Amino acid sequence: MPPPPPSMAPSALPSRTFHRRHPLPSPAPPPPPPSTVPCCVSRRRAAAQLLLSAGLLTAVSSSSPPALAARRGRRTIAPEDYASTPDGLKYYDLIEGKGPTAEKGSTVQVHFDCIYRSITVVSSREAKLLAGNRSIAQ
């Protein structure tokens, strides 16, 4: 090996001696033990909780169905209060009209709601959706 050039004297070179360093710090403390609360709820446990809460709500509710209907402002109409047409259609007038009595052959305007088992099936008050999100009222 050739000698180093004069500009690089041995004192200018970095020392290759290794000094004993301080020992590495101890590793991080171990993580705490897992808590007793699970991070996820299983489907079986969720279903059991749902059934339990539904059962409690059913047991706690003391209102009878007629009281709930009265609170909602609904009234039940007895089947014998319905009028029938010659074709067999049954109807009940919730609000009596204030105009003149309709005569046979005259044009009248009515609003109607067809209700089946407390579900409004057809109503003249609801708009019908067409293609392109356009609506038309009947």
List the chain pLDDT tens, one digit each, 138 residues. 566 565 555 555 666 666 666 666 667 777 766 666 556 778 888 888 888 888 777 766 655 566 655 555 666 778 888 888 888 888 888 778 788 888 889 888 777 778 778 788 888 777 666 666 565 554
- Residue 124 counted as domain residue: yes
The answer to whether residue 57 sits within a structural domain is yes
* pLDDT the model gives residue 103: 87
Number of domains observed in the structure of the chain = 1
Residue 68 corresponds to which tokens in the numbers above?
């709930």
If you write DSSP's letter for every residue of 121-137 in order, what string do you get?
A: EEETTSEEE-GGG-EEE
86, part of any domain: yes
Please tell me the predicted confidence (pLDDT) of residue 2: 62
Residue 22 falls inside a structural domain: no
In a domain, 55, yes or no: yes
In this predicted structure, what is the pLDDT of residue 138? Answer: 44
CA separation for the pair 45, 63 (Å, rounded): 30
- Domain extent for 89: 43-97+108-137
Q: What is the DSSP string of 45-110?
A: HHHHHHHHHHHHHHHH----HHHHHHHHT-----GGG-EE-TTS-EE--SS---SPPP-TT-----
pTM across the whole model? 0.32
